[in-house]
């Protein structure tokens, strides 16, 4: 994780800071901004170029230039790491730490991070799947059946970790097993007089696989004129949707071959008509627990994650009843962004600790998946409907990005928030 110990300490600090920010799921334009700000404060002339899978840092040394290039995997949100890394960046930007002490602080913070064990991550997937079943418009019965389905999907992801060949198939395998276990779960539940909707259960099972956050981040990077990174991330998200849709298609064919039913036999309910009740409140708590685990938040931050989820739910409901079409996610994201920026100013913590859990309830991943699934259908009408649905997902992602830009214009974020 940390740069070569034999290089100049300035280079090692900038490279380590960029790596940790990337691992924590920071968008490329924010990585470039934060690392450049720290370099300026340290009196280093540096140029930073960040992509989802590549980071390049060039440092001027008189009439010569040193360049560090390193390959990275696309990062995912890690709230504890985000807080620790931003805290060090803040102190360097404020002049409290120089490069050697900044590098030591990064190393110390990274080594003492709380990391959820594998079984906790699997439970987190299960909890979020149960919550998603309700938030997608399902019933309590759907939540009950989605819980073990999400656990099985999380288990398959944990088992695929460690070898590159298995990791590349994790999305396909997760989607396949989600479909298969959803059909089995619905049949078993029916024997216990639990009537679950297989379409809701299957979609809730794969919701943790969907690249809704990647779509939104890509739109944010494109809107920030970071075209190379935004385009690469967008194509990565589209590829993930295709792979997941293929996994579901193979899973559904297997389910039909075994005579276990079909996803097409039941329709998705209208999530927008969901009323707030005890089941929805329980879903928000379960969702917050799942997000806190999946996003590697410190246990003490659970109440912040829960508050953010409630904020996202309320913002989405109010915006949906007040505005029409694409304006609703713009308004909801703007409200969430303003709240996150205010929190950042008051508590000197990253805006993302509030924004990431809140917008998790707005993300267009499930819509994009349904569109992509229809696109690969042989039925012409389904293909046209899929194109329309997938375009709608992109519009929602762009709307969320626009809302966050509006929030930053109305209440500017802290320099390193």
Q: Tell me the CA distances in angstroms from 71 to 81, 186, 196, 356, 357, one per residue in order.
A: 20, 43, 45, 25, 28
Strand (E) or helix (H) holding 67:
strand 64-71
100: which residues sit within 8 A by CB, 6+ positions away?
A: 9, 13
Q: What is the pTM of this model?
A: 0.88
Strand (E) or helix (H) holding 58:
strand 54-61
Flag whether pLDDT at 61 surpasses 90.
no
CA distance 291 to 357: 7
Reported as a pLDDT band with limits 50, 70 and 90, residue 203 is confident
Query: Helix or strand or coil: residue 68?
Result: strand
Contact 327, 312 (CB under 8 A): no
Flag whether pLDDT at 29 surpasses 60.
yes
In the structure encoding, which two tokens stand for residue 275, read together? 């009323």
Amino acid 156: pLDDT: 87
Mean pLDDT of the chain: 85
CA distance 365 to 92: 37
Show the CA angle centred on residue 301, arms to residues 297 and 305, nearest 5°. Answer: 80
Contact 150, 125 (CB under 8 A): yes
Q: Tell me, what DSSP letter sits at residue 224?
A: T
Q: Which has more pLDDT, 6 or 175?
A: 175
Amino acid 417: pLDDT: 46
Q: Tell me, what DSSP letter sits at residue 114?
A: -
Flag whether pLDDT at 4 surpasses 60.
no
In the structure encoding, which two tokens stand for residue 78, read together? 């890690």
CA distance 65 to 62: 8
Amino acid 145: pLDDT: 94
Q: Which has more pLDDT, 334 or 389?
A: 334
Flag whether pLDDT at 94 surpasses 50.
yes
């Amino acid at each position: 994780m940390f740069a070569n110990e034999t290089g100049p300490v300035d280079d090692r600090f900038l490279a380590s800071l960029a790596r940790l920010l990337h691992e924590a799921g920071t968008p490329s334009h924010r990585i470039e901004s934060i690392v450049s700000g720290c370099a300026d404060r340290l009196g280093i002339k540096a140029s930073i170029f960040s992509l989802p899978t590549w980071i390049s840092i060039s440092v001027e040394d008189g009439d010569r230039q040193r360049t560090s290039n390193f390959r990275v995997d696309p990062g995912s949100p890690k709230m504890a790491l985000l807080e620790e890394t931003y805290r060090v960046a803040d102190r360097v930007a404020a002049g409290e730490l120089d490069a050697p002490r900044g590098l030591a602080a990064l190393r110390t913070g990274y080594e003492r991070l709380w990391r959820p064990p594998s079984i906790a991550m699997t439970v987190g997937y299960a909890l979020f799947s149960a919550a998603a079943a309700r938030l997608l418009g399902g019933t309590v019965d759907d939540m009950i059946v989605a819980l073990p389905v999400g656990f099985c999907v999380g288990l398959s992801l944990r088992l695929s970790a460690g070898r590159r060949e298995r990791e590349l198939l994790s999305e396909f395998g997760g989607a396949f097993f989600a479909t298969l276990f959803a059909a089995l779960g619905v049949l078993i539940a029916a024997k216990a007089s639990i009537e679950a909707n297989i379409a809701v259960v299957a979609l809730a099972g794969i919701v943790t696989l969907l690249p809704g956050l990647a779509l939104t981040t890509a739109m944010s990077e494109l809107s920030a004129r970071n075209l190379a990174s935004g385009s690469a991330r967008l194509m990565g998200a589209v590829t993930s949707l295709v792979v997941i849709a293929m996994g579901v298609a193979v899973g559904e064919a297997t389910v039909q071959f075994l005579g276990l039913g079909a996803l097409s036999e039941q329709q998705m309910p209208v999530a927008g008509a969901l009323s707030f009740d005890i089941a929805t409140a329980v879903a928000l708590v379960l969702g917050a627990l799942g997000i806190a685990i999946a996003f590697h938040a410190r246990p003490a931050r659970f109440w912040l994650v829960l508050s953010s989820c409630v904020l996202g739910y309320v913002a989405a409901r109010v915006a949906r009843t007040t505005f029409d079409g694409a304006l609703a996610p713009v308004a909801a994201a703007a409200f969430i962004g303003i709240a996150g920026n205010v929190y950042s100013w008051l508590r000197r913590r990253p805006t993302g600790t509030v924004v990431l859990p809140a917008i998790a309830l707005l993300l267009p991943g499930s819509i994009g998946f349904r569109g992509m699934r229809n696109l690969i259908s042989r039925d012409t009408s389904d293909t046209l409907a899929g194109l329309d649905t997938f375009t709608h997902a992109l519009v929602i992602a762009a709307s969320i990005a626009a809302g966050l830009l509006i929030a930053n214009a109305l209440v500017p974020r802290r320099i390193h928030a």
